[in-house]
Amino acid sequence: MREIQFREALREAMNEEMRRDPSVFLMGEEVAEYNGAYKVSQGMLDEFGPDRVIDTPISELGFAGVGVGAAANGLRPIVEFMTFNFSLVAIDQIINAAAKMYSMSGGQYNVPIVFRGPTGNAGQLGAQHSQNFENWFANTPGLKVVVPSNPYDAKGLLKTSIRDNDPVIFMESELMYADKGEVPAEEYLIPIGSADIKRAGTDVTIVSFGKIMKVALAAAQELEKDNISAEVIDLRTVRPIDYAAVVESVKKTNRLVIVEEAWPLASISTEITYHVQKHAFDYLDAPVQRINSLDAPLPYAATLIQAILPSVERTVKAVKAVLYKD
C-alpha cells in the first residue's frame, strides 16, 4: 500500500468530497493563494476555483459565522482555523450557533459544517498558541469532536465528518502534518465514535488519541522490554467516546492508564476514569492512572515544554505503578 503524509491524506479527503458534492467548499485564512498555512490545501484553488476555496480576512468570528449560515442554508462548509487557539475568537458561533441550531429550531435546520485545524503544542510557540480544547468542545451537546492520530484515520474520518449532518470539530496537529502512513487509494470511510486497538496486549490498557498516541505506542514498546504487554487504544473521537471498547479492554487487562495532552481538570481522561470505575470497577486490580500536561500554561523554553507534556517516561512509570501498586 502507498504511503502519504498526514497533510496529503487530509487534502485527498477534501478533494474527493468536493468532487463528489458541489455543496462542499473550504474557507479560512491563507487556504487558497498560499496553499494553506501548512500546505494542507495545496493545489485546491487551481482545481476548484475561488468560489469553493476561499481566502478569508483575519476574522475567525466573521468567517465562522458565514460558515454556519451557509451550512444552515444547504451548503457543507469546511472552515479551517490556522490553529484552534484562534477558534476562541469564534467560539460563540461554534457553541451558541452551530451546536444549538438543530435543537433550537426543532429539527428544522441541520448545520453540516466541519471546523478543522491544528490543536495542542507544536514546539516553542508560546502559551497562547499551545493549548488543547478537545475537552472544551466535547463538553458541548450538538458537536462531534474528532482527533485522528495517523494519515489513514485522518482521511477516513474527515470524509465521514464532511458528510455528517451535524457540526464536527476536527482537530489535527502541526507536528503530524509530515507524518507518513499507509492510505488506500480506493475510497473508504471510518465511522465517528469508533475507537481502534492499535496494539493488542494483556497486562494493561493504555488509552490515548491524537498525536499523543505516539507517546502511548512508544511507551508500549519500552514496556515490552520488561515483558509487559500493553494494549493501546486510540479513541479517534472524543465526542462520542467509544466507552465500550475501553471497558472491554479493561475487563481483559484489569488495569488502565490514560495519556492525554490537555490539562488534568475536567479532561477526557477524567471522564473515561469515571466511566470505567462505574462500569468495570470490579475488574480493576489497581486505581486508574492518568498522564496529562502539568497544570500550567506551556512555557517557551524547550526544556520546560518537555517537563510539562506527557512523556514516555511518565507513561511507563504510571504503567508500572498500576502493575506493582507502587
Looking up residue 9, the CATH number of its domain turns out to be 3.40.50.970
The DSSP line for 119-148 is -S--SSS-GGGS---HHHHHTSTT-EEE--
> Do 162 and 19 belong to one domain?
yes
The answer to whether residues 157 and 35 belong to one domain is yes
Q: What is the pLDDT of residues 233-258, one digit of tens each?
A: 999 999 999 999 999 999 999 999 99
Among candidate residues 12, 60, 80, 174, the one labeled active-site is: 60
277 lies in some domain: yes
Do 294 and 175 lie in a common domain? no
List pLDDT tens digits, range 119-164.
999 989 999 999 999 999 999 999 999 999 999 999 999 999 999 9
Domain that holds residue 151: 3-182
Alpha-carbon span 206 to 212, nearest angstrom = 11
Mean pLDDT of 80-96: 96
User: Dihedral through CA 303, CA 117, CA 148, CA 258, nearest 10?
Assistant: 40
- The predicted structure's pLDDT at residue 325: 63
Task: Choose the catalytic residue: 129, 134, 172, 261.
Answer: 129
**pLDDT at residue 326 tops 90:** no
* Catalytic residue flag (residue 12): no
- The verdict on residue 237 lying in a domain is yes
Domains in the chain, number: 2
Average pLDDT over residues 35-59: 97
pLDDT for 1 equals: 84
Specify whether 60 is catalytic: yes
Looking at the fold, whether 244 and 125 belong to one and the same domain comes out as: no
Question: What percent of the chain has pLDDT above 90?
Answer: 98
Contact indicator for 231, 202 with CB cutoff of 8 Å? yes
User: 114 with 149, same domain?
Assistant: yes
**pTM greater than the 0.85 cutoff:** yes
In a domain, 187, yes or no: no
Question: Is position 208 within any domain?
Answer: yes
Give yes or no: residues 14 and 154 share one domain: yes
CATH number at residue 226: 3.40.50.920
Domain finish residue from 182, 213, 240: 182
> 156-210, pLDDT tens digit by residue?
999 999 999 999 999 999 999 999 999 999 999 999 999 999 999 999 999 999 9
Asked whether residue 107 carries a pLDDT value surpassing 60, the answer given is yes
pLDDT, one tens digit per residue, over 268-323 is: 999 999 999 999 999 999 999 999 999 999 999 999 999 999 999 999 999 999 99
| Strand-strand pairing, 53-55 and 3-5 | unpaired
Round to whole Å and give the CA distance between 115 and 129.
17
Q: Say if 279 falls within a structural domain.
A: yes
DSSP result, 30-80: TSSTT--TTSTTTTHHHHH-TTTEEE--S-HHHHHHHHHHHHHTT-EEEEE
Arithmetic mean of pLDDT over the chain: 96
Indicate whether 240 and 299 sit together in one domain: yes
Same domain, 44 and 136: yes
Question: Is residue 190 in some structural domain?
Answer: no
Give the integer Cα–Cα distance in Å for 219 and 201: 13
Instruction: Give the mean model confidence (pLDDT) for residues 18-36.
Output: 97
Average pLDDT score over residue span 60-78: 97
Pairing relation of β-strands 237-239 and 144-146?
A: antiparallel
Verify that 222 and 166 share a domain, yes or no.
Answer: no
